[in-house]
Amino acid sequence: MALVRWQPASLFDLRNDMNRVFDTFRGNGPASDASRPAQWRPSVDIVENEDAYIINADLPGITREDLGVAVTDGRLTLRGERRHDSEESDGSVHRIERVYGAFTRSFDLPDAVKEDQIEATYLDGVLSVTVPKAEEVKPRQIEVKIST
């Protein structure tokens, strides 16, 4: 009989085990991989500066024609589709991990933005949407007068 050194489980191990259990129930774990396709949600960064909100979305492998940006009732919606490569290969496929298909991401905009001046650019797989702030929400300096 081999001796095995006992190591108490850390909280991180317990957390990882619990996350794996809940991911399986949500359809993200290994038990669901074969039963249904994964859904794709591109990652975004939202940055605010003095003049605007800037939303950057990672969209590698998508053509400009497969992208859409719309603003409706104070909600910015990004839509697109990553298409599967239809090239036939001589070899057999061993693994496919990249997710393909349509996606939609929506963001509620603050009230004080200029919806008619929103701009979107797409370069090197990154969609950048600039949402300018209205003048009344931009910070401004107020001169302090000295009265005598």
Give DSSP secondary structure letters for 84-137. PP----SS------S--EEEEEEEEPPSSB-GGG-EEEEETTEEEEEEEBPGGG
Which domains, ranges and CATH numbers included, belong to the chain?
40-83+100-138 (2.60.40.790)
Whole-number pLDDT of residue 95: 80
Whole-number pLDDT of residue 89: 61
Residue 28 has pLDDT above 90, yes or no: no
More confident residue, 16 or 33: 16
Residues 72-85 pLDDT 10s: 999 999 999 988 77
Residues 111-148 pLDDT 10s: 889 999 999 999 999 999 999 998 876 677 778 888 87
